[in-house]
Amino acid sequence: MKLIQKILLYSVLFLLGVALFWWLYRDLDWIKLKQGLKITNYYWILVSVLLGLYSHYIRAIRWKMLIKPMGYNPKVSNIFLSVLIMYFTNIIIPRAGEVARCTALARVEKIPASKLIGTMIVERIADMITMILLVILVIVINLGIVKEFFVQNPGITVNLIRLLSISNIILGITVIVLILILFFVLKPFKNTIFGEKLKKVKHEFKEGIKSILLLENRWYFIGCSFFIFACWLFMLYAVFKAYPPTSHLSIEAGMFTFLMGGLAMLAPVQAGIGAWHYMVIKSLFLYGIAEEYGKIFALVAHSSTNLIYLIFGLAAIILLPVLNRCKL
């Protein structure tokens, strides 16, 4: 029953994303789209693709840094393929990629998945902190543009205020506290078979979380975290250079567009479809890019990124068991 509910939920969210995408592109001139694709410099698209893949490789190196203190030494190639599987899965099922990458790596490297999930949470916390710092930097650099964006898009302002409302924050904290009380104070499953399994998983999970305290080189870990986001920024900026109407824009414009697109990716729809396009189009409009050009740019940038995830993710699903057939 829960599986059916999840399928229905993801289907509804996907349809909402498709509806927003259709609404944005319903009046697109297909002749102009064809012309836009024709004048696009695909050398820069290739650069964007390579930057995307390199960011995944750096993520693999960073993840290995968290795994090694637990006494495991997985191959970087296996971690890299698992990361590609994560992004592929996220396109199909939002937020499911993290579990998919931990499961994939656990299978070939014989590492308990619960330990890997612990390290994954450390990774996500590092990403969140890095993103917050970059958001502050982008806002400081583009303060005037940020104000103008929210003035011209009051609906987005209202939704952000609702999302970050005191009631939502209190609700989130309350849910976390109740879960902690249930499992660590009341212990409803104590002295049961399930309770013993839960205890083992909890121990392995905590071991994964504690890996951050045992890092050999924390500054290298921090550097990798910032470098991943830098790759993503220049991955988008390379598409700026690829498309003539946006090729003159500054790196500051790229940073602002990257930030707005990043906020859109918080929407629970596959690959941010619709929401990402909307935010990017509106961001580029503030820099004098007409909506028809912004639509073509968003389509090219989003399609090229997700084609990377689909093609290389599918290749990773095939290659991972082939390269580790002795371990399966």
Residue 184 counted as domain residue: yes
Cα-based angle 52, 58, 81 (whole degrees, multiple of 5): 75
Report whether 86 contacts 98 (CB < 8 A): yes
**Range with lowest mean pLDDT among 24-33, 37-46, 84-93, 238-247:** 24-33
pLDDT (average), residues 198-205:
58
Residue 27 counted as domain residue: no
Cα-based angle 293, 56, 97 (whole degrees, multiple of 5): 90
How large a percentage of the chain has pLDDT more than 90?
29
pLDDT (average), residues 147-161:
69
pTM equals 0.80
**What is the span of the domain harbouring residue 166?**
34-323
Residue 2 counted as domain residue: no
pLDDT per residue as tens digits for the range 162-177: 655 566 667 767 776 7
Residue 14 counted as domain residue: no
Residue 21 counted as domain residue: no
Cα–Cα distance, 242 to 42 (Å, whole number): 6
Interacting residues of 58 by C-beta distance below 8 A, sequence separation 6+: 224, 227, 228, 231
Residue 66 counted as domain residue: yes
Is the pLDDT score of 327 beyond 70?
no
Residue 97 counted as domain residue: yes
Domain count, the chain: 1
